[in-house]
Amino acid sequence: MKFRIFVLAALVLLVSVGLAFANGDNEAAADDVLVIGMTVPQIDADGFRVNVESAKKVADARGVKFVAFSAQSSADTQLSQIEDMIAQGMDAIIINPTDVNAIGIGVTVNQQRDSHKLFTPQRLSQFI
């Protein structure tokens, strides 16, 4: 469990630092707030709740806006959340897939727009 928390915290840190410097400058603009979205199968489940809380804690400490969504064990709901996060222009999206094969459409849409960083911290999808 501690290893999962560490991996997720490290992921949020790397994403926030990487995105802050992605434009080639050595400093991010003061008014640029990075936004990271996360979708998990069931936010009420202990393991996923801990992941979300840990990611939020790390994001808050680094001035990154963090938004989490629960798919409520529905692949369709999760796909809709992914599409919404893409449409909102989030800087990075962390996906803990309800069904690794069902998220393919959301990943494909993202790749076509080529504007977001996608991460799956636990289960790998054939699309990422």
Give the pLDDT score at 5.
Answer: 53
Query: What pLDDT is recorded for position 79?
Result: 87
Rounded to an integer, what distance in angstroms lies between the CA atom of residue 36 and that of residue 66?
A: 5
Kindly report whether the global pTM for this prediction surpasses the value 0.85. Answer: no
Instruction: Check residue 117 and give its pLDDT.
Output: 77
pLDDT of residue 6: 46
CA angle (95, 46, 125) in 5-degree steps: 25
Per residue in 42-78, pLDDT (tens digit) is 998 888 899 899 999 999 999 999 999 999 999 999 9
pLDDT of res. 67:
96
- CATH number given to 2-119: 3.40.50.2300
pLDDT at 20: 52
Instruction: For the chain, list residues with pLDDT below 50.
Output: 3, 6, 13, 17, 21, 24-28, 30, 125, 127-128
Q: Which helix (H) or strand (E) holds 121?
A: none
How much is the pLDDT for 99?
Answer: 83
| Three-state SS annotation for 3-60 | HHHHHHHHHHHHHHHHHHCCCCCCCCCCCCCCEEEEEECCCCCHHHHHHHHHHHHHHH
Are 108 and 102 a contacting pair, CB within 8 Å?
no
